[in-house]
Amino acid sequence: LVVALVVAVVDGNGNGLKDPKPAVGPPRAVQTFDVDLTMPPEERWVAMSKMYSQEIQAIVQTVMNEIPKDVRSLLIAAFADVDRYLPKEYADEIRGVSEGSGIQLGEAVVMNLFYELTAACTSIVAQNENGTIFHGRNLDYSIAGLQNITVHVRFTNGSSAPAYLGTTYVGYVGILTGMRPNGISLSLDERWDNYTIVENIVKFMEGNTPVCFALRNVLASTMDFESSVEYLSNVKLVSVSYIIIGGVKFNEGAIITRDRDYAADVWRLDYPSRWFIVETNYDHWNPAPANDDRRAPAYKHMNMYNSSSINAESMWWVMNQFSNLNSETTYTAVMSAANHNFNTMTQNSD
């Protein structure tokens, strides 16, 4: 019944930015929080969610307003049975978000399916001449106010050194942008397709993994670059996507083009002829559309450098150029797992 009602009102996934506009205002620093993984999962996000409860409630209301009331109530009721759809650790963390923010449990689950609804992004992974990998990403969303809940999270095991790190929206316990020091960096770009949102919801209910949790699974593990590529190429996902991964060794950079059940393509760094690769929501073997060609500006700005001059600062400059930085960019991040570098700032915060 839930699926039938949603089908009647939701007809598709995102399909591009369509003539992106320039960003407004300077980038702003984000607040950093620790999530202690030795705590019970249901307690880890409560304090942070309380701190941002009004902002979370506003974002959830914006999302819910896009769904008719009769469908909304059924989705909230269905997703309240969160243990049926997610591993217990993530289900309990979402319970903590619900408790801290004051939103219903089913609403908190919907919030954690943001990516499966709509997004746009730019990700670039590059290698300099000494083999260091740099990973830049802009995350674009059309949902207003996400900058207000953007935070940098250090996931710790009770010690001062983080096990892994991520930039996320408070209440969103999956990872869209993250890094394990001395291991890997990851970002997620949406792959637009002909699947409908309802099909994604069905796959979620059937047990496929939301891609944000697949990324967190890898960050929380000890998988090396190749093992991470293998897992991320084969785990069954709720939605199709592009997974961008950087490592710590020579040529450890790849864009995994994902169908739901398998990787359609794995495109890798091949230094020196291919010292960087770019993803902007379109299959790299096809041309980008004229009204959303963020790929050409990315190549233009990257080619102003070379493998001897690319570093965290130059990658930051590239990511802050139009149209990869645009009016829907919520944050920019640059990572290097080898250097333990992870810098994030919000965009369009004014």
Q: Which residues are catalytic?
A: 121
Distance separating alpha carbons of residues 330 and 281, to the nearest angstrom: 16
Q: For residue 82, what are the CA distances in angstroms to 93, 107, 114, 118, 188?
A: 11, 11, 16, 22, 23
Angle, helices 88-101/53-64, rounded to nearest 10 degrees: 110
Q: Amino acid identity, residue 185?
A: S
Distance separating alpha carbons of residues 80 and 108, to the nearest angstrom: 9
Q: Amino acid identity, residue 21?
A: K
What are residue 300's phi and psi, to 5 degrees? -60, -45
Helix boundaries (H) for 28-155: 46-51, 53-64, 69-79, 88-101, 105-111, 114-117
State whether residue 19 is helix, strand or coil. Answer: coil
Q: Which tokens go with 56?
A: 């979370």
Distance separating alpha carbons of residues 198 and 200, to the nearest angstrom: 5
Percent composition of the chain: helix, strand, coil (DSSP 3-state, to 5) = 35, 25, 40
